[in-house]
Structure 1
Amino acid sequence: MTVDIPKAENPVMKWAGAFKNDPHFDEMLEDIAFLRKMRCSRGPKSIGHRA
């Protein structure tokens, strides 16, 4: 017996490409990378860091 299950769409996909033409997008990515680097350099006990 075969049961066809409808493929569920990922709810996040409706926002895909939302920032494609945002002039501040690259700057935001640089800020995220900087904050991640700073958080990682402080070690696992830094605020907000999940091990």
Structure 2
Amino acid sequence: MVYKVALDTIVKARMSADEATTEALNLSMIGTMTAIPVPGVQDGKDSEETTHLSKL
């Protein structure tokens, strides 16, 4: 699930910690190695139930 929590911030929730880590690393790689605009990762939260990844 993806939630827009501010004009410049979205939160992607209900993913595993491995999926969140993989997505953050992929976004970083794509942003570094290409001219494709990608959102930056602002924060990551992990709990027993789910992982949340906040993007700018």
- Normalised by the shorter chain, which TM-score bucket? 0.3 to 0.5
> Which protein has the bigger strand share?
2
Q: Identify which of structures 1 and 2 has the higher relative contact order when contacts are C-alpha pairs closer than 8 Å and 6+ apart.
A: 2
TM-score (norm 2): 0.36
TM-score (norm 1): 0.39
> Which protein has the bigger helix share?
1
